[in-house]
C-alpha cells in the first residue's frame, strides 16, 4: 500500500504521541529510583568539584560538575547491568530538564534586573554581538562542503541550530528537504555533545583570549539554556568577583539570541548561506556522502 509523505508524517506523529503516553502512563514523579540515581550523581559531581587541568603555561581547562553528571548519566543509561534507567526514564528526565531549567532562567533574569544599568551602558554592543550567528556560515560551510555534504549544509551551517532556527529552516524549505535534514542533524548533535563542547570551549577561551569578562558572558548566550549554563560555569570560575554582572549579561544575551537572532537568520544568515553555497560548492564541493535518488524505480 502506498503512503504519501504527508500521511507518513501524520502516522509517525500519531505513533510518537502514543509512545509518549505509554511511557508516561505512570506518574513520573513516583519513579523514585530515577530521582535517587540523579541525586547520587549530583552528590558525586559536587564531591569531585570543579577541576582545573593545566595544558600550557598560563592556560588551563576548567571541568565543571555539570560535565561529570552528564558523563555519569550516559554511562548509567548505556550500562546493561543498570536496568532501572531505560528509555522511559530518559523521556522523564528530558521533560524534567526543561522544567527545572526554568529555575536557572529565572535566576539569570533576576541578575539581569539587578545589573540593568550595566546592560544599558553596553548599548549597541549587545545587539551587534548577534551578528556572531554569521561566523557559523563563514567557518563551517567550507568544511561541510569539503566533507561531502550538499544542500544539507545550508541547514547545518546557517545557525547553531536551536529551536527558532529549526523552525525557520523547516518553514522555508519543507520538512522533508535536505536543508531540514541538515538542521535536525545539527540540533541532535548539539543536544548530545553541545554542552560538553561549549564548556571546554569557554574554559579554553577564558584562559587564552584576553577579552573582558562581559564579552565571554555575552558569548555564552547562544539561544540554548543548557549550553548557556555550561559555558557560564567556567566564566564564573575564572571571574568569581563579577558573578552577578556576568550572569546578567549571559542571561540577557541568551534572550536576545532568541528574540533578535531569529531575524538575523531569516534576513541575513540564510540568504548569505545560499549565496556562499552556490559560489563555493562548484569549487570545493566533493561527491555527496549520500547519493540522491536518480528517479523512480
Q: Read off the pLDDT of residues 42-66 as tens digits, 9 standing for 90 and up.
A: 898 888 887 777 766 655 666 777 7
Which band of pLDDT confidence, cut at 50, 70 and 90, is reported for residue 12?
Answer: very low
Greatest mean pLDDT among 42-46, 119-123, 258-262: 42-46
> Residue 294: what pLDDT?
44
Query: Measured between alpha carbons, how far is 159 from 273 in angstroms, rounded to an integer?
Result: 10
The three cell numbers of residue 232 are 557560564
> Residue 197: what pLDDT?
83
Strands 51-56, 59-63: pairing is antiparallel
> Residue 185: what pLDDT?
84
Query: Measured between alpha carbons, how far is 200 from 192 in angstroms, rounded to an integer?
Result: 14
pLDDT above 90 covers a percentage of the chain that reads: 6
Neighbouring CB atoms inside 10 A of 44's CB total 13
Element spanning 51, H or E: strand 51-56
Cα 155 to Cα 69, 86, 107, 278: the distances in Å are: 31, 32, 33, 14
Cα 134 to Cα 117, 159, 198, 274, 281: the distances in Å are: 29, 7, 18, 13, 18
Helices (H), the chain: 5-23, 32-48, 65-78, 87-114, 116-122, 125-128, 135-147, 152-157, 163-173, 178-208, 213-219, 225-238, 243-259, 261-264, 270-284
Task: Decide: 102 and 229 in contact? Cβ < 8 Å.
Answer: no
DSSP calls for 52-73: EEEEETTEEEEEPHHHHHHHHH
Residue 59 phi/psi, 5-degree rounding, is: -120, 125
- Residue 60's nearest CA partner among 270, 248, 224, 205 is 205
Q: Is the pTM of this model over 0.85?
A: no
pLDDT above 70 covers a percentage of the chain that reads: 73
Amino acid at each position: 500500500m502506498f503512503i504519501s509523505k504527508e500521511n507518513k508524517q501524520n502516522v509517525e506523529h500519531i505513533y510518537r504521541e502514543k509512545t509518549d503516553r505509554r511511557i508516561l502512563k505512570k506518574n513520573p514523579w513516583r519513579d523514585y529510583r530515577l530521582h535517587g540515581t540523579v541525586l547520587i550523581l549530583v552528590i558525586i559531581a559536587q564531591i569531585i568539584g570543579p577541576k582545573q587541568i593545566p595544558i600550557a603555561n598560563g592556560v588551563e581547562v576548567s571541568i565543571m560538575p555539570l560535565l561529570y553528571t552528564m558523563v555519569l548519566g550516559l554511562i548509567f543509561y548505556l550500562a546493561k547491568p543498570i536496568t532501572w534507567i531505560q528509555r522511559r526514564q530518559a523521556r522523564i528526565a528530558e521533560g524534567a530538564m526543561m522544567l527545572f531549567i526554568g529555575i536557572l532562567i529565572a535566576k539569570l533574569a533576576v541578575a539581569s534586573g539587578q545589573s540593568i544599568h550595566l546592560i544599558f551602558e553596553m548599548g549597541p554592543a549587545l545587539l551587534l554581538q548577534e551578528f556572531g550567528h554569521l561566523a557559523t556560515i563563514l567557518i563551517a560551510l567550507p568544511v561541510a562542503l569539503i566533507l561531502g555534504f550538499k544542500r544539507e549544509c545550508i541547514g547545518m551551517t546557517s545557525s547553531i541550530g536551536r529551536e527558532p532556527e529549526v523552525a525557520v529552516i523547516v518553514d522555508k524549505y519543507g520538512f522533508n528537504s535536505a536543508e531540514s535534514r541538515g538542521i535536525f542533524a545539527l540540533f541532535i548533535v548539539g543536544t548530545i555533545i553541545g554542552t560538553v563542547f561549549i564548556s571546554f570551549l569557554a574554559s579554553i577561551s577564558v584562559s587564552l583570549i584576553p577579552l573582558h569578562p562581559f564579552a565571554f558572558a555575552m558569548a555564552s548566550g547562544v539561544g540554548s539554556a543548557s549550553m548557556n549554563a555550561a559555558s557560564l560555569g567556567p566564566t564564573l570560575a575564572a571571574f568569581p568577583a563579577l558573578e552577578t554582572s556576568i550572569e546578567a549579561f549571559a542571561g540577557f544575551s541568551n534572550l536576545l539570541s532568541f528574540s533578535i537572532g531569529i531575524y538575523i537568520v531569516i534576513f541575513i544568515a540564510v540568504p548569505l548561506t545560499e549565496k556562499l553555497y552556490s559560489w563555493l560548492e562548484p569549487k570545493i564541493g566533493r561527491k555527496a556522502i549520500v547519493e540522491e535518488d536518480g528517479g523512480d524505480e
